[in-house]
Amino acid sequence: MRDFSTGHRWLSINTATVRAQWPLDRIVSECAARGIRAISPWRDQVAAAGLDKIAALLRDTGIELSGYCRGGMFPATTAADRAAALDDNRRAVDEAKTLNAACLVLVVGGLPGALAGHAEHKDIAAARNDVRDGIAATLEHARSVGMSLAIEPLHPMYAADRACVNTLEQALDLCDALDPSGAGALGVEGRERAALGVALDVYHVWWDPKLQAQIARAGCERLLAFHVCDWLTPTRDLLNDRGMMGDGVIDIPRIRSWVEAVGFDGYSEVEIFSAENWWKRDGGEVLDTCIARHRSAV
């Protein structure tokens, strides 16, 4: 396993972590100033700053994208909504390509309408069929431009409104069904990556008794991204109360050892949504703490 205690070469910052403090161009320059070599930005932040401007800024600073957040949200009840979701995912793939991202992360969606508080039906199996079909269609376009898609299984507490893919096993079943060869796009570092793989976020999967076995099943071709933060006890908000690494109950080094045992050698991406704590602090303090905890708790 790589030794992170002496440096932060493999630290990436998911830009949601300091989104309350800074716009994206400032986040890029603050990361560059601290020797942070990678980020994973969100589409709304890129749109606000301007896609071409951010692409140029990344080139100038040499900062890489460990991922791009996000595509997905496939389930729908009308043909028009289905088509709109696919169009939006095609655009997300193209933006990821322009930014030379390692992968486009997919938060696949749950019951249609549930995120807005009005689920249009209760058929989670139908939603999962929509997800399978939506990924299949998006994968065709992604392959054509050479962009990998990373399905992010989300904790089951989000099954209704954000993602009805909830375990690594379920995500890998989709990968095997839709991308059986596992061959595909060439990553930004020249590493062979599957066209369809997974983004493994310790926050979502740490509790899973099958986690180690499913990481071994994934292999490094399908492990496209590794996200870290911590699970706080108690957790006060389902979405925006993630902890800094080391402040909660996830044995992050153990999970990283499993991931690296299959050959994963990419970035460890810090992704913290924290309305009542980290989003209220100075952005520089948050980044400096991410660097320190990357060394001591990842």
Interface contacts to Zn ion, rule CB under 5 A:
201, 227, 271
- Closest-approach residue to Zn ion (CB): 201
Handedness of CA 156, 16, 218, 151 (dihedral sign): positive
Crossing angle of the two packed helices 211-222 and 168-178, in degrees rounded to 10: 40
Least spacing, CB of residue 70 vs Zn ion, in Å: 9
Tokens of 51: 């896609």
Least spacing, CB of residue 87 vs Zn ion, in Å: 24
Nearer to Zn ion, 76 or 108 (CB): 108
- DSSP state for residue 113 in the 8-state scheme: T
Q: How far apart are CA 85 and CA 81, in angstroms?
A: 6
Q: Which helix (H) or strand (E) holds 150?
A: strand 149-151
Least spacing, CB of residue 279 vs Zn ion, in Å: 16
Nearer to Zn ion, 36 or 200 (CB): 200
Nearer to Zn ion, 179 or 271 (CB): 271
- DSSP state for residue 17 in the 8-state scheme: G
Q: How far apart are CA 283 and CA 18, in angstroms?
A: 6
Which residue matches tokens 């998006």? 138
Least spacing, CB of residue 65 vs Zn ion, in Å: 14
Q: Which helix (H) or strand (E) holds 40?
A: strand 38-40
Nearer to Zn ion, 99 or 270 (CB): 270
Nearer to Zn ion, 76 or 231 (CB): 231
Tokens of 268: 């460890």
Nearer to Zn ion, 72 or 82 (CB): 72
Short-list 204, 100, 89, 73, CA closest to 141? 89
- DSSP state for residue 68 in the 8-state scheme: E
Least spacing, CB of residue 196 vs Zn ion, in Å: 17
DSSP H helices, the chain, are 24-33, 43-49, 51-61, 79-98, 124-145, 168-178, 202-205, 211-222, 252-261, 283-297
Q: How far apart are CA 165 and CA 180, in angstroms?
A: 18
Least spacing, CB of residue 287 vs Zn ion, in Å: 18
Least spacing, CB of residue 201 vs Zn ion, in Å: 3
Nearer to Zn ion, 76 or 149 (CB): 149
Q: How many CB atoms within 10 Å of residue 249?
A: 11
Nearer to Zn ion, 76 or 174 (CB): 174
Half-sphere exposure for 157 (CA within 13 Å, toward CB): 8
Least spacing, CB of residue 202 vs Zn ion, in Å: 9
